[in-house]
Amino acid sequence: MNLDHPQGNGQVTFASRSAANVEEAPAFPFQSFLSLKPLIDLWRQYAADANPVKSAAARQMLAELLKAPALIQSAVELEAIARHKALVEQLFSIVFPHAYWETMPAAAAVPFEARPFHLTPAIKLLNLFSENGGFNRGLNIEPAPLMLGRILNAYSHILRRFYDVETQFEHPLVFTTSDPKTGLARYYQINLDLRFVEIKKVGEPAPLSAEEIRKLLANPTVLEAWYELIPPACFEFHGFAVFTASDVTDQQLLSSLKNDLLEKNALVEPARLQRVQEKLRALLRRPGLQLGLAGIPGAPSMLREHGRKIGESFILHDACRQQSATFAGSLYDHALQHDEIVIVENLEAYPAATGVERALRQQGIRNIFVAPLQYEDKLVGLFELGSAQPGDINAMNAFKLHEVFPLFAVAVKRSLDELNDRVEAVIKENCTAIHPAVEWRFRAAALEYLQNRQAGLPEEMEPIVFNEVYPLYGLSDVRGSTRRRQEAIRADLTEQLQLARQAIGAARAERPLPFLAQLENRLDQQLERIARGMNSGEELSMLEFLRHEIEPCFEPLQEFSAAVGERIAAYRAALDPGLGFVYRQRRDFEGSITQLNEIICSFIEAQQEKAQAIFPHYFEKYKSDGVDHGLYLGASLVEKGGFDPLYLKNIRLWQLLLMCGVARLAEAEKPKLNVPLEMAHLILVQNAPLAIRFRYDEKKFDVDGAYNVRYAIMKKRIDKALIRGTRERLTQPGRLAIIYTQPREAAEYREYLDYLHTIGEVTGAVEESDLEDLEGLHGLRALRVQVRLAPALSPAPAAEQPQPAAEAPAGEVEIGA
């Protein structure tokens, strides 16, 4: 309840039940008496009317009343009303006209009480009044604020009648009942007419000042103030009140639907969706209606493959998808393509039935209503209503739905956004970052996961396996990186030990202490060990020796002389401030590795965008001492399926061009590195398709099945392969090696290499070699060719075929798309 009081004429507004803090219902403080005098006075006016028919009927009525003196008393007993029932009905004929007697819900009652004494048949059917003089359940207000409203309503009439204070009292009451035929909810607004109520003074109430009236209106719910300034004992109410009930079902349901659809989770929770469906049934007066909603993330063509059921949807039911591979030509297709509502009153008689319409009939639907939902001029979904009864939904009764379509569109859009957020959260939690080419599969798995959770089923992400995919693998590896890293470590350690040796030697020269001689000897031994070659783990022990045995001595030793202090300062200056040891050579080496990796990765990523345009595929790359990449393509990786070997050939040729471009890029970048690095490049070929599975524990794809494990082993070991009968590594700087097992693989790649030779990507003859067996790997062979490390000399052919680009300026590296 909210009682507002605008400044000025003192308007009291009783708006709702929530604001007033009323815990217990107060008693009605005024005396009320049933009296028919106001109505009899109206008949007396009619008796004097100029219309002879009207006046004659009124005089006849007044004559009949003289025969029933109990009805003309100042206070009429209910027993007298019952005794003179027929006369009372005739008396009230000018309040409740005979023409509307059966259909108009109305009742006359004691003023400010819910004790009706004269009721029409229509209001009796509503079962509004209880036997104890109150209202039955179904009223939109509790007894306490209801009684407060009665009291304030009475006072507003007193203010207007005796204090010339105009007040407007709004006390909307809505009663909910069930339709006896359909069982659906019906809403009636209860209106109170007090024109036949007279207020009588009992004694003389004290006058009110403007300030006192202002305070009353400022705090209308403080009843004690009203009772003090306007004592209820000073006034009585005589006459009768008229209750009428207006059907506001449509207004109430539309308002309620709007509120429901504006809630955040309006279309997420099944219970809320059920409430929305019940309200639509009540709105259209059809108890058998079924609601369907489908979210469409884009164009109409995305409905079948990408549409999302919101609760239930007829078109996205399994029956529809099984009956028809496409929705083309169906009523849904017409609704979406023409952006218009489609109503089929009887699907059995629909002349243009497709598999979709047949599937609807399988679902028990005979009458269908379909409306596209637009949000900001973009299609977001479909609104469906279905019924087993032909003709339940037609253009006339469905017209009232137009008011809620925009809100359904907003709710569907919000539901799609919220679902997308939940899907993203599931993917992020279980899978981390996902390649765009296979995101569709992870989204489907995440949706299944959420549906299982909602249904109370085990919450576990389904296996994600792609069968019959063709693998491609490439590696650009820094030649001799392990050796170069060890050399950098030895160089840094040697420098640090030598600086420490010089500081200890300078101190011993100042003061020839035996302990300093021992430290010098130990430092010399460490340097000799480095010269001979360190074993694994010795780096850490040497650093521990320096940190815990040498460096603690520097604090007292630097006091020996300025020369000693300078040597110690030189040692400390050489240390990396963050690491605490010498890190010059390693920084240069690791920085060069990082610089080379970053530029190669950027290059590969840019070329990948072009490769995805050839055919969508899964791609991954990893950085270590170089960059390796894996690529898988096949029909199972594509949401709509479909694959042709032509795409595999295109991607293989693209990969060869990519590796040539990487080789040129690495060569061009070499002069810019602090440590010049050589790179060797290889490709692994396998014609036989395999399966890959996403490992949720490792959050990455891996080959699936024991047979396919051989491919994973090959990827890990082939960079160490030797040409059979020699000690020569297959991979050599500036050359591209292609490892294979089957002759037909070599034949295919020889054709590609001939083409690359023609366009200037590679030079020299193609070498063919058998490889030494590796652990668990036998029968490997390889092709090897020299990459032209200068920019290609010929322009690129048509973009449809992957080709090298035209000659690039110095410092730039390009490949064909």
Per residue in 107-120, pLDDT tens? 999 999 988 999 99
CA dist., res. 792 & res. 352, Å (int) = 61
The 116-119 sheet, strands edge to edge: 116-119, 106-109, 241-247, 185-193, 173-178
Give the pLDDT of residue 327: 81
**CB of 504 closer than 8 Å to CB of 516:** yes
CA dist., res. 583 & res. 308, Å (int) = 57
**225 with 283, same domain?**
no
Spell out a b/e string for 740-756, using b for 16 or more CB atoms within 10 Å of the CB, else e.
bbeeebbebbeebbebb
**CATH assignment at residue 411:** 3.30.450.40
**57 with 152, same domain?**
yes
Q: Please give the full DSSP string across 740-760, using - where no structure is assigned.
A: ESSHHHHHHHHHHHHHHHHTT
Least confident of 180-189, 595-604, 708-717: 708-717
314 domain-assigned: yes
In this predicted structure, the answer to whether residue 815 has a pLDDT above a threshold of 70 is no
598 domain-assigned: no
Q: Give me the mean pLDDT over the 239-251 stretch.
A: 93
Q: Which of 582, 600, 624 is the last residue of a domain?
A: 582
Q: Which of 582, 599, 620 is the last residue of a domain?
A: 582
**81 with 149, same domain?**
yes
In this predicted structure, the answer to whether residue 794 has a pLDDT above a threshold of 80 is no
796 domain-assigned: no
In this predicted structure, the answer to whether residue 142 has a pLDDT above a threshold of 90 is no
Q: What's the pLDDT band for 13 if we cut at 50, 70, 90?
A: very low
Q: Which helix (H) or strand (E) holds 768?
A: strand 762-770
**170 with 133, same domain?**
yes
C-alpha distance from residue 362 to each of 285, 304, 322, 334 (Å): 25, 18, 11, 21
The DSSP output letter for 300 is G
User: How distant is the alpha carbon of residue 411 from its chain centre?
Assistant: 12
C-alpha distance from residue 778 to each of 684, 748, 769, 770 (Å): 14, 21, 14, 10
**306 with 356, same domain?**
yes
Cα pseudo-dihedral 385, 388, 391, 394, rounded to 10 = 0
Task: For residue 28, give the nearest of 120, 144, 122, 127 by alpha carbon.
Answer: 144
608 domain-assigned: no
Least confident of 12-26, 169-183, 371-385: 12-26
**193 with 288, same domain?**
no
pLDDT tens for residues 252-288? 999 999 998 888 778 878 888 999 999 999 999 999 9
Q: What percent of the chain is predicted at pLDDT more than 90? A: 60
Number of domains in the chain: 3
Q: Which of 532, 547, 582 is the last residue of a domain?
A: 582
Q: Give me the mean pLDDT over the 739-749 stretch.
A: 95
Give the pLDDT of residue 588: 96
**243 with 281, same domain?**
no
Residue 783 exposed, middle or buried by CB count within 10 Å (0-12, 13-18, 19+): buried
**CB of 109 closer than 8 Å to CB of 194:** no
Give the pLDDT of residue 136: 81
Q: Give me the mean pLDDT over the 327-334 stretch.
A: 88
Q: What's the pLDDT band for 707 if we cut at 50, 70, 90?
A: low
**228 with 260, same domain?**
no
C-alpha distance from residue 410 to each of 338, 342, 584, 735 (Å): 21, 21, 61, 60
**CB of 780 closer than 8 Å to CB of 741:** yes
**233 with 315, same domain?**
no
Token code pair at residue 534? 């360190």
Give the pLDDT of residue 365: 94
* pTM across the whole model: 0.60
Strand runs labelled E in 308-353: 308-309, 342-344
> What domain range includes position 504?
482-582
**CB of 304 closer than 8 Å to CB of 327:** yes
**CB of 187 closer than 8 Å to CB of 174:** yes
Long-range CB contacts for residues 212-215, cutoff 8 Å, separation at least 24:
213/10, 213/159, 213/163, 213/165, 214/10
665 domain-assigned: no
Q: Please give the full DSSP string across 392-424, using - where no structure is assigned.
A: SS-TTGGGGGGGTHHHHHHHHHHHHHHHHHHHH
**533 with 493, same domain?**
yes
In this predicted structure, the answer to whether residue 371 has a pLDDT above a threshold of 90 is yes
User: How distant is the alpha carbon of residue 107 from its chain centre?
Assistant: 52
**195 with 302, same domain?**
no
pLDDT tens for residues 499-557? 999 999 999 999 999 999 999 999 999 999 999 887 767 889 999 999 999 999 999 99
Q: Give me the mean pLDDT over the 447-456 stretch.
A: 75
759 domain-assigned: no
Q: Give me the mean pLDDT over the 29-46 stretch.
A: 95
- β-pairing, 235-239 with 31-34? parallel
User: What average pLDDT does the structure give for the chain?
Assistant: 87
**504 with 556, same domain?**
yes
Cα pseudo-dihedral 392, 393, 397, 403, rounded to 10 = 140
258 domain-assigned: yes
Which amino acid, one-letter code, is at 77?
E
Give the pLDDT of residue 427: 66
**CB of 343 closer than 8 Å to CB of 398:** yes
Cα pseudo-dihedral 316, 317, 321, 327, rounded to 10 = -40
Task: For residue 721, give the nearest of 710, 712, 731 by alpha carbon.
Answer: 731
54 domain-assigned: yes
Token code pair at residue 395? 């253009």
3-state SS, residue 774: strand
In this predicted structure, the answer to whether residue 101 has a pLDDT above a threshold of 50 is yes
Least confident of 290-299, 373-382, 578-587: 290-299
Residue with tokens 């032209």: 788
